[in-house]
């Protein structure tokens, strides 16, 4: 834990701070599996998405608009398993999942097993803003999308030769989705805007060869996506079944929220008392923050618990204190982060920052 420098507390109140983190999936992403061209293409796409989101935040736009802008760019990029480039189901169709959450009021929207919508994140957002529900699925969600006037695409829009080859491999070998490493490439973004509002969103095609209407963690609020102004914003990627069982995104936010008042209380104890036995100074929440290390520790703990069950993957987070970071137990995760303090970078492999 650490006390915020007075200047930092002032900055927060003045509304100058913002942060954003994005991901494009986690997995067995090793240097020997990725060509130099893929490496360059993915970094360029991550940079473009990060820039788009940062631009919104820099200009004073909302975290919700920032993450939507970033996610749409990654959905439109065929290198990622979301929107164009989504993986195929066992029946060689695409069933897309997405969710979004606004930490200022805990409003949320999600869609599962959809197709026809060009940008699933826009449909999740429409469910949040324009319907009385949190989650819609399948044909009903597709109908809602058309009624909302969202851009529609033909079923073949999502297909890429790379994803077709993957499903053909799976079908030829008759292997289970769990036996292949073709599931990664999910995209997500989290942000804190200048008003201090947290936002999180995730979008995916799910797992190659999924069947029986399987739905992963990405559209499940609390598992793959969560945002709460009192704690953090999280978007996940990885073996969805494990993220659902641990409720990873909500679990990280809850641990931050619970540790936060305890940390204030502990810091208060270090303040000297006067002759009457009263504290000479009362610590106010706006002067206080969890340190980068503490937030990482909490995220790492939850990822380790998910890993102990047998799951792999990772998360990105943003905090109300302007931090943005990652935690993952895979060799790599496509990721990027930017903050008002000048942090701006994208990375792929586990040994990069
Ligand atoms: N979490 C996604 C799912 O289980 C897949 C991924 O993130 O790669 O559907």
Report which of 209, 208, 242 is spatially closest to residue 224, judged by C-alpha positions: 242
Check whether 61 is labelled as a binding-site residue: no
Q: When comparing pLDDT for 290 and 133, which is higher?
A: 133
pLDDT of res. 229: 93
On whether residue 152 sits in a domain, the answer given is yes
pLDDT of res. 180: 60
Name the pTM for this structure. 0.92
Residue 208 — pLDDT band, cuts 50, 70, 90?
A: very high
Ligand 1 center from residue 222 Cα (angstroms) = 14
On whether residue 189 sits in a domain, the answer given is yes
Q: What percentage of the chain reaches a pLDDT higher than 90?
A: 80
Ligand 1 center from residue 205 Cα (angstroms) = 8
On whether residue 307 sits in a domain, the answer given is yes
* Ligand 1 atom index nearest CA of 240: 4
On whether residue 292 sits in a domain, the answer given is yes
Which residues lie closer than 8 Å to 60 by C-beta, 6 or more apart? 193, 194
Q: What is the average pLDDT across 269-297?
A: 89
Q: What is the CATH number of the domain that holds 48?
A: 3.60.20.30
pLDDT of res. 285: 72
112: containing domain? 19-349
On whether residue 50 sits in a domain, the answer given is yes
Q: What is the average pLDDT across 293-304?
A: 97
Enzyme catalytic residues:
186
Residue 27 — pLDDT band, cuts 50, 70, 90?
A: confident
Inform me whether the pLDDT recorded for 6 exceeds 80: no
On whether residue 11 sits in a domain, the answer given is no
What average pLDDT does the structure give for the chain? 92
Ligand 1 center from residue 243 Cα (angstroms) = 9
- pLDDT tens track for 239-273: 999 999 999 999 999 999 998 888 888 888 989 99
Q: Count how many domains the chain has.
A: 1
Report which of 268, 287, 288, 286 is spatially closest to residue 278, judged by C-alpha positions: 268
E strands present in 193-294: 198-204, 225-228, 232-238, 288-289
pLDDT of res. 184: 74
d(CA 212, CA 95): 11
Pocket test for ligand 1, best of 27, 111, 206, 312 (most atoms within 8 A of CB): 206
On whether residue 146 sits in a domain, the answer given is yes
- pLDDT tens track for 156-205: 999 999 999 989 988 988 766 666 665 579 999 999 999 999 999 999 99
Inform me whether the pLDDT recorded for 5 exceeds 80: no
On whether residue 5 sits in a domain, the answer given is no
């Amino acid at each position: 834990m650490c006390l915020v420098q007075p200047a930092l507390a002032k900055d927060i109140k003045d509304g100058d701070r913002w942060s954003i983190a994005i991901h494009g999936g986690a997995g067995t992403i090793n240097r020997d599996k990725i060509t130099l061209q893929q490496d360059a293409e993915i970094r360029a796409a991550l940079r473009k998405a990060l820039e788009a989101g940062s631009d919104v935040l820099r200009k004073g736009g909302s975290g919700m608009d920032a993450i939507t802008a970033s996610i749409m760019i990654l959905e439109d990029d065929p290198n990622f398993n979301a929107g164009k480039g989504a993986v195929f189901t066992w029946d060689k169709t695409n069933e897309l999942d997405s969710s979004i959450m606004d930490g200022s009021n805990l409003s949320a929207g999600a869609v599962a097993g959809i197709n026809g919508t060009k940008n699933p994140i826009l449909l999740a957002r429409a469910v949040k803003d324009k319907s009385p529900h949190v989650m819609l699925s399948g044909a009903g969600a597709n109908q809602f999308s058309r009624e909302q006037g969202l851009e529609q695409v033909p079923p073949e829009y999502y297909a890429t030769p790379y994803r077709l080859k993957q499903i053909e491999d799976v079908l030829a070998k008759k292997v289970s989705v769990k036996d292949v490493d073709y599931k990664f490439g999910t995209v997500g973004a989290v942000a804190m805007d200048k008003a201090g509002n947290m936002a999180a969103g995730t979008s995916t095609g799910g797992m190659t060869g999924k069947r029986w209407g399987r739905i992963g963690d990405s559209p499940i609020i609390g598992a793959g996506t969560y945002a709460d102004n009192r704690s953090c914003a999280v978007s996940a990627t990885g073996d969805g079944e494990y993220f659902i069982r641990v409720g990873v995104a909500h679990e990280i936010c809850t641990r931050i929220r619970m540790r936060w008042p305890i940390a204030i209380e502990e810091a208060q104890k270090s303040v000297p008392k006067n002759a009457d036995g009263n504290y000479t100074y009362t610590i106010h929440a706006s002067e206080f923050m969890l340190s980068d290390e503490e937030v990482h520790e909490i995220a790492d703990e939850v990822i380790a618990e998910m890993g102990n069950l047998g799951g792999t993957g990772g998360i990105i987070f943003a905090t109300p204190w302007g931090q943005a970071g990652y935690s993952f137990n895979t060799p790599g995760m496509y990721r990027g982060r930017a903050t008002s303090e000048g942090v701006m970078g994208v990375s792929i492999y586990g040994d990069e920052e």
